[in-house]
Amino acid sequence: MMNRTIQNMSLTLCTAVAFVLGASPATATPTITGVDIPPSPDLTYGSTITITGSGFGSKAQAEPILYDTVDAAYENGVLNLKHSQLSNGDLILSTNENPDSIWAGPSSTAFGASRVQVSSDRPTRHTNSSEHYYFKGFNGFVGKPVAYGGKSGFGTPADEPQLYVSWWYKPKYSPSLYWRIDPLNQDGTFVPGEKLAMNGISATFIGVDDEGMINLVFDDPVNSNDLKGQLVRGSLSNATTTFPEVFKGGGSFGYLGPGSQKYLRIREDADGKIGVALSWTQMHQTLSGYSTSDVLVNWENRVLEGNQWHFMEFMIDTDKGIFKINIDAQPMTSFNFDPKLAFEGEWSPTVALLGLNGKVGHLQESDFDDIYIDNSFQRVIIADSKNIQEARYIEVQYPLSWSDTAITFQLNNGSLSKAREIYAFVSNRDGDFNSEGFPLCQDCLSPPEKIEIKVD
């Protein structure tokens, strides 16, 4: 059977709609004019697809620095065979414990942290995933990728300004809404999962942790001033307690709010001593650097829904002095900083921590998967809309070869496996995408046939 080929003879160059970092006039916006898809009953996971067009730019290495689906991990395009042999319940070890590990700095049991493990017995993100990372508690993460400066004595290359990081994350409870309180004048026993009412505010009772504190997750963000001294009543148990008047902090009694829980920590020097140091938490982003002791704070945030997979994207360019964050395919924030904060002549931004690093979520559970790290914004994505601003789901693809006019990638349809329409986008070095997605299929659930699309 002949391969399906989709042709588009003339597309207009348009301004990119997402992750625009101010492309120079010399850099062309990507244009896709054709896609070659092998024959199959559908867009099969793992298929090799070639995109043709212009404006993709050159890329020294087609593959990302690290592509970790947990089922498999590719470091600079090379499969780590030892990682692929991990199975359900295996702990993610540091390189001090396992020299073949892809992570030099995963969480350990120090400071109350949890060990991240491989899970194959929990619900997976999509049908073609058999394993992902999992941990229980308030502090667990992977970090310091061996492929990019993580291993002691092997730093990152000097002055690579760009870093792109994406992954999928599912917290059991929203980190932004998770609180703990000490019981006060409690009467009765609360039932896990029941609704709690206090001063017209609603929460859900999670349970009682090993320190005897009540763990609860609110329906919406709350202010402690609206809760102090209020009666808390369970909707099923009719049990009651009183919300404490005081913040517990280092004391022996009180309440604890969400605090600062890091999703991602970026460092130039992986030990965090010199150069850019950035943290993305559920409440803000903080950044410091080489030439100042001041900490810059950006208070933009988005509440993640509990028990749902979320697509997390982070980009930084230390030459241009900007970082950008997307959640679930939509821009959350961008922030400008002085490029002089970066340390010149040594190191480049890398991932020091990825997961959840906090203190409050004693009964929290976290699943994460499909980690993609590269020192270029150039990437291929597929989406469920030809307008990226309207996309509900996107998936980053694994490129196998890359030139200015052709890219071959291995398909990861992931969350789009049952989408009726799938469109391809290419980003150039400036972060500019083709403004309108190119169709891989427009009735993806129907049997394949040769399609030819021409636009005058």
Based on the fold, state whether residues 48 and 80 are members of the same structural domain: no
What is the mean pLDDT of the segment spanning 53-75? Answer: 97
Report the C-alpha gap between 78 and 142 in whole angstroms.
20
Percent of the chain beyond pLDDT 70?
90
How high is the pLDDT of residue 12? Answer: 29
Q: What length is written for the chain?
A: 456
Kindly give, in sequence order, each residue whose CB lies less than 8 Å from that of residue 390, ignoring residues fewer than 6 positions away.
none
CB 115 within 8 A of CB 363: no
Identify whether residues 156 and 301 lie together within a single domain: yes
Query: Within this chain, do residues 50 and 199 fall inside the same structural domain, yes or no?
Result: no
Q: Is 254 a domain residue?
A: no
pLDDT band at 294 (very low <50, low <70, confident <90, very high): confident
Mean pLDDT of 232-238: 98
Specify if 150 maps to a domain.
Answer: yes
38 and 83 share a domain?
A: no
Task: Specify the pTM.
Answer: 0.91
Which has more confidence, 434 or 12?
Answer: 434
DSSP single-letter state for residue 27 = S
The pLDDT value recorded for residue 282 is 98
Average pLDDT over residues 307-312: 98
Cα 81 to its chain centre, rounded Å, is: 24
Q: Which of 317, 343, 374 is the last residue of a domain?
A: 374
The answer to whether residues 272 and 327 belong to one domain is yes
Report the pLDDT value the prediction gives residue 455, as an integer from 0 to 100: 44
Q: What digits encode the pLDDT tens for the residues 83-100?
A: 999 999 999 999 999 999
Co-location of 403 and 325 in the same domain: no
Query: What does each C-alpha distance from 388 to 31, 328, 392, 405, 435 come to in angstroms?
Result: 15, 11, 9, 22, 8
- Show which of 327, 342, 374 is a domain's final residue: 374
Is residue 299 classed exposed, middle or buried when 0-12, 13-18 and 19+ CB atoms within 10 A define those classes? exposed
* Neighbouring-strand partners of residue 121: none
55/75 same-domain check: no
Q: What is the mean pLDDT of residues 253-258?
A: 98
Same structural domain, 12 and 43? yes
Residue 284 has pLDDT above 60, yes or no: yes
**Structural domain containing residue 281:** 66-174+259-374
| Residue closest to 225 by CA, chosen among 205, 252, 197, 201 | 201
Same domain, 270 and 345: yes
Domain boundary among 359, 374, 389: 374
Q: Which helix (H) or strand (E) holds 202?
A: strand 201-208
- CATH number at 24 reads 2.60.40.10
Residue 90 and residue 213 in one domain: no
Pairing relation of β-strands 394-396 and 379-383? antiparallel
Q: Give the containing element (helix H, strand E) for 213.
A: none
The owner of tokens 């299929």 is: 441
With respect to residue 285, please indicate whether it lies within any of the assigned structural domains. yes
What secondary structure does DSSP assign to 361-398, as a single string? -TT-EEEEEEEEEESSS-EEEEESSSSGGG-S-EEE-E
Q: What is the pLDDT of residue 309?
A: 98
Residue 429 reports pLDDT greater than 80: yes
Confidence of residue 153 (pLDDT cuts 50, 70, 90): low
Residue 154 and residue 265 in one domain: yes
> Nearest to residue 266, comparing CAs of 284, 288, 292?
288
Residue 447 resides in a domain:
no
Query: Does residue 187 fall inside a structural domain?
Result: yes
* 248 is a domain residue: no
450 occurs within a structural domain? no
User: Do residues 316 and 329 lie in contact, with contact meaning Cβ atoms separated by under 8 Å?
Assistant: no
Answer whether residue 253 is part of any domain. Answer: no
Work out how many domains the chain is built from and give that number. Answer: 3
> What stretches of 209-309 adopt beta strand conformation (E)?
214-218, 231-234, 240-242, 255-256, 262-267, 277-281, 285-289, 292-298
* 382 and 359 within one domain: no
